[in-house]
């Protein structure tokens, strides 16, 4: 039985950028009372609190922005990496190119939304559809991330330049590309969090919906044991069956 449970957020604990489902909320609260619970996501701290609208102080750890902004249960700041204005300028240019590429593949002619880019403080994110687009549209756009992965592969020269600027890109969530500080992904930050806490990796488990090759959870493979799920229903079935018996 693990002692420390790491969770991805979107499509794992909650629907994409949405609140935890009402039937799942009491199970999550009960889990927080029994285990060390750590939520790690590409989103910002404010987004975690929005999607998990329970009193978080004393309940769970928050590793936002791939873990580059780490907050303890009691609200203590553990670390907070920062991106630069120069990096933001380079990422915005690349993100717009990628959005245009994606729209061309899909044959989309509707206007580009005004919510396709976010500077979250420790990373950047760009949504090819728009962060606040309806979930049914987002889920249908690129469900297996294959379009985004292919488009990134076709822009290897631009990605190399971003890497020189200290940034790497990866598909995330339903329609997002995350631009993170190079090498400081979920796997890296979970490893340093465990070291900081003095935990053993064999006492941990990571639960996520994108543990497949190229998925934004895949960097955790080999760092701690993992549990792959398809959606929040699968996550809470695992919680009920294996953790809260």
Q: Are 210 and 226 in contact (CB under 8 A)?
A: no
Q: How many C-alpha atoms does 61 have within 13 Å on its Cβ side?
A: 25
Beta strands in 101-220 (DSSP E): 117-119, 123-127, 167-172, 176-181, 204-208
Specify whether 176 is located in the same domain as 239.
no
Specify whether 26 is located in the same domain as 60.
yes
Residue 65 phi, psi dihedral angles, 5° rounding: 55, 55
Specify whether 176 is located in the same domain as 194.
no
pLDDT tens-digit readout, 57-84: 689 999 999 999 999 999 999 999 999 9
Q: Which of 160, 181, 202 is the last residue of a domain?
A: 181
123 pLDDT band (50/70/90 cuts)?
very high
Specify whether 160 is located in the same domain as 175.
yes
Specify whether 93 is located in the same domain as 167.
yes
User: Residues near 61 by Cβ (< 8 Å), separated by ≥ 6?
Assistant: 36, 37, 38, 39, 70, 71, 72, 73, 193
Q: Which of 154, 181, 208 is the last residue of a domain?
A: 181
Specify whether 95 is located in the same domain as 72.
no
Specify whether 121 is located in the same domain as 59.
no
Taking the C-alpha atoms of residue 205 and residue 182, their distance in angstroms, rounded to an integer, is 24
Specify whether 72 is located in the same domain as 148.
no
Specify whether 188 is located in the same domain as 76.
yes
Q: What percent of the chain has pLDDT over 70?
A: 99
pLDDT tens-digit readout, 166-209: 999 999 888 999 999 999 999 999 999 999 999 999 999 999 99
User: Residues near 219 by Cβ (< 8 Å), separated by ≥ 6?
Assistant: 185, 186, 187, 188
Which H or E run includes 61?
strand 61-64
The yes-or-no verdict on residue 92 having pLDDT over 70 is yes
Cα distance from N-terminal residue to C-terminal residue, the chain: 11
Range of the domain at 235: 4-80+184-243
Specify whether 76 is located in the same domain as 92.
no
Domain harbouring 216, CATH code: 3.40.50.1000
Residue 34 phi, psi dihedral angles, 5° rounding: -105, -30
**Overall pTM > 0.95:** no
Q: Which of 165, 181, 197 is the last residue of a domain?
A: 181
122 pLDDT band (50/70/90 cuts)?
very high
Domain count for the chain: 2
Domain harbouring 151, CATH code: 3.30.1240.20
Specify whether 177 is located in the same domain as 92.
yes
The yes-or-no verdict on residue 53 having pLDDT over 70 is yes
Specify whether 24 is located in the same domain as 76.
yes
């Amino acid at each position: 039985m693990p002692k420390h449970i790491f969770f991805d957020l979107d499509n794992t604990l909650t629907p994409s950028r949405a609140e935890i489902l009402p039937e799942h909320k009491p199970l999550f609260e009960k889990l927080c009372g029994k285990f060390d619970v750590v939520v790690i996501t590409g989103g910002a701290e404010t987004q975690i609190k929005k999607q998990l609208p329970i009193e978080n102080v004393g309940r769970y750890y928050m590793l936002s922005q791939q873990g580059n902004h780490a907050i303890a249960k009691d609200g203590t700041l553990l670390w907070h990496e920062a991106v630069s204005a120069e990096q933001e300028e380079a990422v915005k240019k690349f993100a717009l190119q990628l959005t245009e590429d994606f729209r061309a593949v899909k044959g989309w002619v509707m206007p580009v939304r005004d919510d396709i880019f976010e500077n979250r403080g420790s990373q950047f994110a760009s949504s090819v559809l728009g962060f606040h687009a309806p979930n049914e549209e987002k889920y249908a756009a690129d469900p297996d991330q294959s379009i985004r992965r292919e488009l990134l592969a076709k822009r290897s020269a631009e990605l190399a330049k971003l890497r020189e600027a200290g940034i790497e890109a990866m598909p995330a969530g339903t329609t997002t590309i995350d631009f993170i500080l190079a090498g400081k992904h979920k796997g890296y930050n979970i490893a340093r969090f465990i070291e900081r806490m003095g935990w053993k990796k064999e006492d941990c488990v990571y639960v996520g919906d994108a543990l497949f090759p190229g998925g934004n959870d895949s960097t955790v493979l080999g760092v701690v044991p993992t549990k792959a799920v398809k959606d929040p229903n699968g996550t809470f079935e695992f919680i009920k069956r294996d953790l809260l018996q």
